[in-house]
Structure 1
């Protein structure tokens, strides 16, 4: 049964386009269900921006992947647009550990940015 990820374990992380390619090309990712392939192959992901990962559940694929893996929210910047979309992505623990964790100041900016994209009626 998948276990929730404690916010203190990984927190909020960011990835560049190059890091997304590394996660996509990791051979362990072939054993995971929610992959980056469709987003990258269709050109939806912006190549210059940073993309936000928030791990939420540990997957049950430890034996197939050879390590823990996590189901994560991924807020990615849409290519050619000033908009972020949210999808669920599975990531092996080694790939997740390689990403940069945001500090408190940067995290506040991310939250404000993501909330700034919501219609004001959503916030009330």
Structure 2
């Protein structure tokens, strides 16, 4: 009787180890597939003329309240001041896809050039 109980416990232990290994392999496969899908989606957005950006909030006097941080090269960033940023996108560190037109007008703040957004979309990261 003790042998049967020991065998049953051992079998349950082995089966639970096998199922957890399969689940972890599926998670790894899904995450690799998800990463590849995100890369493809990002390339499509850039092909359509969108730039990846990040909304930055500042409460410093003389600074623009909201700017969009855009990447220039591998390590440098530049900032634009969207004059028509919708309320739904006014969240610090929100990642977005943007299209914009530069404006020939005086800057509202020192570090960012004024732009008019033509399109903006949420970007999942």
**TM-score normalised to the size of structure 1?**
0.30
> Would you tell me which structure has more strand in proportion to its own residues?
2
**Larger-Rg structure:** 2
Task: Tell me which of the two structures has the higher relative contact order, counting C-alpha pairs closer than 8 angstroms and 6 or more residues apart.
Answer: 1
